[in-house]
Amino acid sequence: MERLAASFFERSPVTCARKIIGATFTWGGCSGRIVETEAYAAVGDEACHTFFRPGARAFVDAHPAGTAYVYLNYGVHWLFNILVKGPEGAGFVLFRALEPLSGIGEMTARRGKSKLRELCSGPGKLTRALGIDGADHGRDFLCGPDTGIFAGNPVEIVAGSRIGISRAVDFPWRFHEAGNPHVSR
């Protein structure tokens, strides 16, 4: 499989969020196919952290495309994003759901769930299943020995409104693989 380099993430968040569907995300001995993402634009997107968090704007300025942006959502769940910076603008791609491929025993133990469909079918679920937390914020993971993203085969993609947010909800920037049972909802 072809490993995706940082240059893959030097494009718009919307384009990247769509094109990464079907790729394989590996992390610490676990892996899964990316089946659902959401795009967030650093400028003009009220739902993006950069809209109301100066630290997020500083993160975009200080880090290269392909860097992990991990944050605690509502004090409960870690969420994994990847920084995207291209000529069309910067922002983030939130990984919303994975179809588990390997390390399923570890994922099951971390999640306390035995059904495959429940392991990574949401952004907080997938970070817990893979063992991702705040210590991974700012991590350059694309070329790690046990981390990375690998190109996948083309799949049919459905676009729709982002979910779980209260601002800029009308942007059709949520992408998922059509018919995949591991999508969040």
Report the CATH number at residue 173. 3.10.300.10
Task: Decide: 58 and 49 in contact? Cβ < 8 Å.
Answer: no
Please report the pLDDT score of residue 1 as a whole number: 80
Lowest mean pLDDT among 36-40, 58-62, 133-137, 140-144: 58-62
Rounded Cα distance between 162 and 164, Å, is 7
What pLDDT, on the 0 to 100 scale, is given for residue 185?
74
Q: Is residue 94 part of a domain?
A: yes
Coil/strand/helix, residue 95: strand
Residues facing 36 on adjacent strands = 97, 176
Domain total in the chain: 1
**Residue 93 falls within a domain, yes or no?**
yes
37-90 pLDDT tens trace: 999 888 887 666 777 677 778 888 889 999 999 998 877 899 999 999 999 899
Q: Is 28 helix (H, G, I), strand (E, B) or coil?
A: coil
In a domain, 184, yes or no: no
Structural domain contains residue 55: yes
163 lies in a domain?
yes
Is residue 68 a part of any domain in this protein? yes
**167 within domain boundaries:** yes
The answer to whether the beta carbons of residues 126 and 98 sit under 8 Å apart is yes
More confident residue, 132 or 51: 132
Residue 1 domain flag: no
The DSSP bridge pattern shows strands 174-177 and 30-41 to be antiparallel
What count of other Cβ atoms lies within 10 Å of the Cβ of residue 102?
13
| Amino acid symbol at 181 | P
Summarize pLDDT for 105-127 with one digit per residue, the tens: 999 999 999 899 999 999 999 99
Contact 34, 176 (CB under 8 A): no
